[in-house]
Structure 1
Amino acid sequence: MTLHAQGPVAAIFRTPLPLKLIVAALAGAGMLSGASVWAQDAIAADTTSVVTVSGVRKAAQSAQAIKRNADEVIDSIVAEEAGKFPDKNVAEMLGRITGVQIRRENGEAREVVIRGLPGLVTLLNGREMFTAGKEGRSLYLADIPAAMLQRVDVYKTQGAEMVEGGTAGVIDVRTARPFDAKGFASSLTARVENRDKSKTNDPNLSGMISNRWKTGYGEIGALAGVSYQDGNYHDEITWNSPPKDRAADLGAGISAPDELGHVLYQGQRKRVAGNFALQWRPDSALEFFAEGISTEIHHDAERQFYVGALGQNKHSSYTLIPGTKQVQTITSPDSNPFALGSTQAPHDYSLGSQGAIGARWNVSPTWRVTTELARTLSKVRQEFPIVDLVAAPPTITGNTYVNGGAQFSYPGYDMTNPANYRVATFFDNHSHAESRATDWRADAAWTPEEDGFLKDVSTGVRVARRNAAYVHELDGFRPAPGNIPLGSVPGLACNSMPMAGDYGMASWVTPCAGFMHDNIGELRKLFGDGSKSAEDKLSQFNNQETTYAIYTKAKYGFTAGSIPVEGTVGVRVVQTKGVLSGYSQANGVVLPVSSSPSSTDVLPNATLKAMVLPEVQARLTAGKSMQRANFDQFNPGVSYNVPSTTVQAVGTGGNPDLKPIEGKNFDAAAEWYFAPTGSLTATVFRHDFKNYILTSSTKETYNGIVYDVNRPRNMSKGTLQGAELSYQQFYDKLPGWLGGFGLQANVTYMKGDLTDTGGVLKPFVGMSRLSYNIVGLYERDGWSGRVAYNWRDKYVDTFNYRGLGFDLIVDPIKTMDASLSYKISEAVSVTVDVENLLDRKYHDYHGVASNPRDIRRYDRVVGLSLRYKM
């Protein structure tokens, strides 16, 4: 039953009724992973039972089959072998998927957007998964190691059976199960990474063991996996502050930044993750499962900041950037410019776990029933001390535009001498967040006995309760109680870490992060009474959110002339009830407040797929999606100041009355599958948004006083439209060793407008209009390789940056990674890979390119892996 290679629609219409029932039963087995993958049930069964995932070609073939047979618009990445991906975690691999853009910093991929939008749902095996925090809606995808994965699916449209909550799409992370393999399977991977800027060699270790047995009680399967990652990183930044008019100091029309500076990041992140899966099939009609995953992270970082004022005055000499009145170089003698060396020393700890139990029952040849119960827990803590040192060198020489960054020095003054500094400020910052959820669902599907227009009907219910809590410190700022020479605090002074680039001043004195961690009590005594800063009740919220959802979905099929057509029609109705508690402040008095918002959303969805030619299909999808506000935006607390004749009446807070963002989504695609690993697909899409959430200031009356209150509000609408083009092929017909080459390429173009609070059309924050990936592949005679190049266009990072009237814009970003593997034997293989081959640079600027903000450089990582599998 190799539907993948024969065309799914045509095969269904040629298949006799008994075989259709077998297909339905296999689909029912696939539903164990949760109803979000019901649309892919037959695919999941076919992928695991027909295709043995081994090698680059098979991985590409499986991913192509998933895309081809899906009801929704989807792209997937499948493991080359069980637990084997060319990337370390989920976030890193997503950057190669059409329409998905990521941002890398602090040693790993971080932000993930789909078609330029951040509003996405993250699922683990079809179940909602999240990381606690102020926002806390999504899973931090870098926390899931690639060693545990079977595949990752990115849904750009959503069926009625899928968990609601994202207007951008859904990312479903699928871990391996024992019944995926035919019998015993195990793997062990040892890896070491060399990072050029942090100058470390970091160990990584992962392993998996799985087996299945036939017993007198039925078939039983068990799987266990573990992953350990120890990763150091070094990022470095040189920056300019926003340009300001310097007519009073330098002359009419002349502008220049007030300060230049550096930021050096160094950190160590240790991740330990484990997962398990149990399956028991007493007979062919019944199956039970239990599975779970847990990840613990310790992250110690040292962020060294340097701020150098340019000291502009009437005695300064300067040159201009050609063609502008923007200062390029400047020397300010005897100006005693402000100079600050600062260290941030955050320690982050997080723990996230999810466990689930469930069952599948083929009640009859026409009825299948599934149910599951899941529990998710997430905890995040942060200690974030900061210590500032200040100095007063007499003269500074600065260059504000060197390859998009800054360069400066202090002639005749030793910035590495601790005697030239005093201790100025201590920030006793800290926060913690917790989130937990219980999620139950039950689903049923019916397949008619007679083959007709109606192919399948499914329905289900889901009840989920989520609690989220967060709080941070109350005024952690502690100024020095008088003059504190740096030399009077033994052990606090360190030299800054080495820099890879030439930024003028090569080193300065900065507080030691290790001293700050180990002597936090002493710092508290130095700057006060020794007590930890209190928690800020105005930042605190405790939200309980309960959702009730029900859906119905029908699959249909018919022949229009000689063209087979199939599709789905469905609707999901979800009610959300919240109980929100927090604190407000008025006239200096803090009082508890609460709110109980609720909403009901009706989310219809329809798809149509027509086999225009034996290997060409057309696809149409339309549906409605919704996205809830972040938890911190719901915070009912509002803080009002005490106004006077000289102090404006202002307030800040959340908004418990926020409505969900609504999205209406339309996709049309043409897909040509000319080989098992060869395809050319094109998709056009449009998303219309309502109730988009923006933070703005509006006049509100409280106790008879009119305040300007800054809070998130449902004020905007927006439209996003674009096109995607994707190509994949292995050139097997080339002679000899040339037949091992393959190519994957995709490009995405987007154009979107969001109406801001002033009625002005602006592009979406973080959206690149154009992005593309080119991946060269090779596999032959035990060798396999990959070279991946990614490019994304410039985008807006922040509108009206710091209220200064211009936008912060990020230049185009290009990255290249590569890997080369050799299979020494059937059991042993070795891999060398390189991340950041091009030594990429992140560059952003204030409104126009001649006003740079900063330039950032990151580690180049060379990894060596040895893998053993059975």
Structure 2
Amino acid sequence: MFFDIGTRALATTIAGIVVTVPAIAQSAGSEVTDEPAASIVVVGARLQSERAVEAKRDIAVVSDSVTGDEAGSLPDFGLGEALDRVPGVSTIQNNARGEAQFITIRGLNADYNLVEVDGVALPTTELGRRNVSLDVIPSALAKRVDVYKTRTPAMDGNAIGGTVNLISRSAFDHKGLFIGGRANAGWYENERDYSDTTPSGLADLTVTNRFGSQNEFGIVLAGSYFRRDSSSLNSSGDNFLFYDEQGRRLSNANAGEYAIAAPNRRRWWTYDNLRQRYGGLAKLEYRGATLQADVTYGDFRHENDEQRQSNSLYVSGDPSVRTPTGGFAPRATAQADLAEFFEKRRISYVNGRLIWRPSDLASLRLGASNAVARYTNDSYLDTYRTVTTDALAYDYIADGLSYQQFTPRNPAYYYNPANYRLVEHGNNLDENRERAFSATIDYDFNQGTNARGVGFAVGGKYRQIDRFYDFVNGLFAPVQAANNLLTGLVSPVQVQPYNGNGDYIIAIDRAAAEARFAANRSNYVEAANSKSANLASDYDLQEHVAAGYMLMSYRDDRFNLSAGARYEHTDLLTGSNTQVGTVWSYERRGQTYDDVLPSLNLSYDVSDTFRVRAAASRSIGRPNYDLLAARQRITEGAASLSITGGNPDLRPRRANNYDVSLEYYFAPRSVLAAAVFAKEINDEIVTLVSTRVEGTGDDEITIRTSQPVNSGRVTIRGIELSVALPNLAIVHPILDGFGVTGNMTFLDGTPLSIEMTDGTMRRLPGLVEQADRIANVTAFYTSNRFSAQVAYNYKSSTLIQISTSATALDRSLDESHVLDAQLRFAITPRISLIAQAKNLTNNRPTRLTGPFQELLREEIDNGRGYFAGVNFRF
């Protein structure tokens, strides 16, 4: 079924609005207006909708926006959550645990998109990807966030999907002193299990002021703190075995429609998380008659303190009884794991801009920025395991999309800590640092919103990235005589999963386990692969991009045309370790490439209310950093050679982009829009595993290579529909104060065909991290003192991992339905009480696997969240 109930209802709602709007516009007349009464202070969803419509109309490219309100805040806690409301945009959660981390624009995952603050690209805290973690950036620091879906030559070319630009607040948004913010206390229904739960909450504060004899100077000080103290539970069936109707084991590659799937491992995870995000921004501004300047310092941080407990029970060999709904495993192994992660992400930057306007038509802009992103993860782990024994025989129930139940026949053995022995202890440290410096110069003539006639713009940009990644691995394994048991180390806390059928998780006490290991240190030696792990992961990279552009434009009262091209020259140098046998050596590799990126944007106002836009452009998508690092391992066998690693010769993806949009501004600050688009992406990047035989006779050798390569072409087509009706008084006066915004995106992609391990070709089922259908609707009401809103977000299933050995090992994220709500009551025109509820639908991110993605692999319960507090502005 193409739509489920929720999406179908949203489609019907938007379709009804599409049919009704023209009649509304014709009957509205000059007396009907959605301007608020003088006593109403417009805030919340209504004001955000009105400002987003204004931004869409003013921006020269195809775009959508999310804005702040007069309380100094966006409607959501993180930048990623706020962007989830934008047409054509969806997000990827941080390990599916409730925080939007990466942005997907028009079905293209974060690898294709660019994130900027005030037009400056941010460095990334991620270990190998170019993605910026949106959960690091507080949304409240933004005046507005624009999502550019088409581009001009003045914009960075490394954005096939689109560009997200956070526009920071300005002192010149207000006449004088402004103070705004919010303070909320929060509670998550999934409290921490193994530590005392501490308060959750949020506090934002923005202060701006102007000074000087002509109020020509301005200052902005903004800060934000967010704290989430909660837990998540992951019920996971990590793997499946497949059998035919005669009970014969099938390989993963041969598992088809009629195969019987038997889960061979049940794994429960609990995550106790304390997440904190805090950041600040300081800006000094000057605006004179012909000169404008500002200097901004921003510092954003995100910390995650996570304790992860997990238990596994898995069959040895084959289950002896197998049916489509259950079976029996005669021998099994059990395992208990403890892992703790102390993650820190930080982005800090200084940005300076100078604008000189020698005339009303001309401006010269200079800018420079220096930014640093850091990531550290100090982790601890212990693994305790039983022997494989028939004492752990279990029955299981499994019917595909329901979570499987494993019931040990001898629970006394399963829960006895004396049967578990330590097999691995470790402390690992990940460190990543990226520095990005950029400098820009731009000159434009007759390019303003009110310009008429011919204009032009020229400019240049230089950007330098320096990054390094270091992994320190400290794993220890027991010597043969070691006998460190779990006895005396089990936490008294017994967590029963909601789908655990009465069973509970065996949890390890961290302090006691660490003390036991220290007391028996002589019984353990460093793991044999510890040195290899340290050297294999490390790399460094330097990337230099020099760019220049030129565009010409023409504008009259109805027509606006701009065309031009951007040239980018890229120098790349990477360094990493290569292993041949047992010998490691460091080597550096480099490449240079050039790109010419033309673009065309035009718009035509058919009438005062109806606008047509069209755009065509070329853009690139540079490979991720970890794919560019060679980090090669060459392992020689008796008659074989295995080569695995990255590829410093990877070319960037190159895409041709086409857009047409229709915008109907049928009433004040209201819009009905439809856009169609297509992207043709060449040199897509996939990791291929290939096998070839060289030589003959005694000299014959089998060479197996695993390496990312440029391969094939991807085509994406899509439709976006959106509507914004900030006040339904244009429908009927009785609806004064009610409003609605909604959008839907439909994507149709032609994915790659890739070579499988056995040499056959396979057409992928979709693009990675692409949802084919995205929908949002927000309904709200604003009166003199009271306002309320509910926001619904839908995403269809999303492919998240591709296997080159068997389609049955692919993984996808099931469709999601999330409902949030907010209530406000104005005590005074400038102080409001606010209450919010997050994830009222209790959406549990669900990952699927199997030949047709019909088997439930894991389901993560994050629970609901509730917040209450005060918003203020003075």
Tell me the TM-score normalized by structure 2.
0.86
Contact 1:845 1:854 in 2 (8 A): no
Q: Residue 784 of structure 1 is aligned with which of 777, 782, 787?
A: 787
Matched AA of 2:616: A
Equivalent residue, structure 1, for 2:382: 387
| Residue 130 of structure 1: how far off its partner (Å) | 2.2
Question: Out of 643, 646, 655, which is 2:647 matched to?
Answer: 655
Report the counterpart of residue 598 of structure 2 in structure 1: 604
SS in 2 for 1:147: helix
Alignment of 1:371 with 2:366, yes or no, is yes
1:577 maps onto 2:577 in alignment: no
Who is 1:33 aligned against? none
CA contact (8 A) 1:481 1:527 kept: no
The answer as to 2:269 corresponding to 1:263 is yes
In 1, Cα distance between the equivalents of 2:476 and 2:806? 23
Give the whole-Å Cα distance in 2 for the aligned partners of 1:198 and 1:635.
Answer: 41
Aligned CA distance change for structure 1 residues 412 and 181 (closer, same or farther; 3 Å): same
Higher mean C-alpha deviation, range 542-551 or range 195-204: 195-204
* CA distance in 2 between partners of 1:862 and 1:852 (Å): 29
Distance 1:632 1:395 in 2: 43
The counterpart of 1:761, out of the listed 760, 763, 767, is: 763
CA contact (8 A) 2:475 2:526 kept: no
Tell me how far apart the structure 2 counterparts of residues 98 and 523 of structure 1 sit (CA, whole Å): 58
Shift of the 531–606 alpha-carbon distance from structure 1 to 2, 3 Å rule, reads same
Matched, 1:297 2:289: no
Task: Give 1:519 shift.
Answer: 8.8
Helix, strand or coil: the match of 1:659?
A: coil
C-alpha separation in 1, matches of 2:334 and 2:384: 8
- Segment of structure 1 superposing worse, 838-847 or 219-228: 838-847
Partner in structure 2 of residue 697 of structure 1: 689
Corresponding residue for 2:555?
557
Matched to 1:196, the amino acid is: E
Give the deviation of 1:543 after TM superposition. 0.8
Provide the residue aligned with 1:619 in structure 2. Answer: 613
CA contact (8 A) 2:91 2:104 kept: yes
Cross-structure match for 1:243? 240
Larger RCO (CA under 8 A, 6+ residues apart) = 2
Cα distance per residue 1:80-132 (max 9 Å; x no partner)? 22521120010011111111112333341123211111110110111010223
Paired position in structure 1 for 2:796 = 793
Match among 646, 654, 662 for residue 670 of structure 1: 662
Partner of 1:13: none
Deviation at 1:395, TM superposition (A): 3.1
Equivalence for 1:22: none
Q: Given that residues 267 and 301 in structure 1 are in contact (C-alpha distance below 8 angstroms), is that contact kept between their aligned partners in structure 2?
A: yes
Instruction: Confirm or deny: 8 A CA contact 2:201 2:867 kept in the other structure.
Output: no
Q: 1:458 Cα shift?
A: 1.3
1:156 aligns with 2:162: no
Work out the CA distance in 1 between the residues paired with 2:598 and 2:464. Answer: 23
Equivalent residue letter for 1:604: P
Aligned match of 1:183: 176
1:64 aligns with 2:53: yes
Residues 430 and 812 (structure 1 numbering): CA distance in 2 closer, same or farther, change over 3 Å? same
Give, in whole Å, the separation in 2 of the partners of 1:517 and 1:210: 50
Q: Relative to 1, partners in 2 of residues 1:386 and 1:372: Cα closer, same or farther, differing over 3 Å?
A: same
1:117 match: secondary structure = coil
**Counterpart secondary structure, 1:506:** coil
CA distance in 1, matches of 2:162, 2:520: 47
Change (3 A) 1:599 1:487: closer
Deviation at 1:236, TM superposition (A): 1.5
Aligned to 1:859: 863
Question: What is the match of residue 816 of structure 1?
Answer: 819
- The structural deviation recorded for 1:524 is 6.6
Q: Assess, with a 3 A threshold, how the Cα gap between structure 1 residues 53 and 689 changes in structure 2: closer, same or farther.
A: farther
Relative to 1, partners in 2 of residues 1:482 and 1:789: Cα closer, same or farther, differing over 3 Å? farther
Shift in Å, 1:760: 4.0
User: Shift of residue 208 of structure 1?
Assistant: 1.7
Q: Which of residues 272, 276, 285 in structure 1 aligns to 2:278? A: 272
Deviates more, 1:698-707 or 1:304-313: 698-707
Distance 2:693 2:292 in 1: 60
1:92 to 69, 73, 81: 81
Q: Please tell me the residue identity of whatever aligns with 1:211.
A: N
Question: Which residue of structure 2 aligns with residue 684 of structure 1?
Answer: 676
Matched, 1:74 2:63: yes
Instruction: Confirm or deny: 8 A CA contact 1:223 1:277 kept in the other structure.
Output: yes
- Deviation per CA, 1:442-469, whole angstroms, max 9, x where unpaired? 11111299x9974421111111111011
Give the 5 Å matches for 1:85-124: 85-104=74-93, 105-118=96-109, 119-124=112-117
**Cα distance between partner residues in 2 of 1:452 and 1:267:** 53
Q: Which structure 2 residues correspond to residues 11-26 of structure 1 after superposition, within 5 A?
A: none
* Residue 643 in structure 1 maps to residue 637 in structure 2: yes
Contact 2:807 2:850 in 1 (8 A): no
C-alpha separation in 2, matches of 1:82 and 1:487:
54
Deviation at 1:228, TM superposition (A): 1.7
Select the residue among 827, 830, 852 that pairs with 2:830: 827
Q: Report the counterpart of residue 133 of structure 1 in structure 2.
A: 126
- In 2, the alpha carbon distance for the partners of 1:284 and 1:410 equals 79
Distance in 2 separating the partners of 1:635 and 1:452: 48
Q: Aligned equivalents of 2:595 and 2:127: distance in 1?
A: 24
Equivalent residue runs for 1:321-470 within 5 Å: 326=324, 328-332=325-329, 335-391=330-386, 393-401=391-399, 404-414=402-412, 415-447=414-446, 454-470=453-469
Contact 2:125 2:133 in 1 (8 A): no
Per-residue displacement from partner, 1:278-334 (whole Å, max 9, x unpaired)? 1023x31112211011122321112222211245767x455x3xxxxx3x22244xx
The answer to whether the 8 A contact 2:433-2:468 is kept is yes
Contact kept, 8 Å, 1:277 with 1:290, in 2: the verdict is: yes
* Corresponding residue SS for 2:66: strand
Measured in 1, the distance between the counterparts of 2:772 and 2:338 equals: 37
Which amino acid counterpart does residue 840 of structure 2 have in structure 1? L
Letter in structure 2 aligned against 1:848: F
Partner letter of residue 271 of structure 2? Answer: Y
Unaligned 5+ segments in structure 1 are 1-51, 321-325
Determine if contact 2:471/2:537 at 8 Å carries over to the other structure.
yes
Amino acid at match of 2:379: F
What is the CA–CA distance in structure 2 between the aligned matches of 1:517 and 1:228, rounded to whole Å? 33
Count how many residue pairs are aligned between Structure 1 and Structure 2: 798
Quick one: distance in 1 between partners of 2:137 and 2:672? 31
Q: State the shift of 1:503 in Å.
A: 1.6
Given that residues 798 and 809 in structure 1 are in contact (C-alpha distance below 8 angstroms), is that contact kept between their aligned partners in structure 2? Answer: yes
Gaps of 5+ in 2: 1-40, 250-258, 756-760
- Contact 2:147–2:162, Cα closer than 8 Å, also in 1: yes
Q: CA deviation at 1:720?
A: 0.3
Residue identity matched to 1:713: V
Residue 73 and residue 523 in structure 1: after superposition, are their counterparts in 2 closer, same or farther (change >3 A)?
farther
Structure 1 residues 444 and 254, CA, compared in 2 at 3 Å: closer, same or farther?
closer
Note closer, same or farther for the CA distance 1:528–1:572 as it changes in structure 2 (3 Å cut): same
Q: Would you say 1:145 and 2:138 are equivalent positions?
A: yes
Q: Tell me by how many angstroms 1:474 deviates.
A: 4.9
3-state SS of 1:192 partner: strand
Query: Could you report, residue by residue, the CA deviation over 1:2-51 in whole angstroms, capped at 9, with x for unpaired residues?
Result: xxxxxxxxxxxxxxxxxxxxxxxxxxxxxxxxxxxxxxxxxxxxxxxxxx
Whole-Å separation in 2 of the counterparts to 1:437 and 1:555: 32
Whether 2:738 is the aligned partner of 1:741: answer yes
Letter in 1 for 2:336: G
2:46 touches 2:780 (CA, 8 Å); kept in 1?
Answer: no
Distance in 1 (alpha carbons) for counterparts of 2:713 and 2:791? 36
Offset at residue 203 of structure 1 (A):
2.8
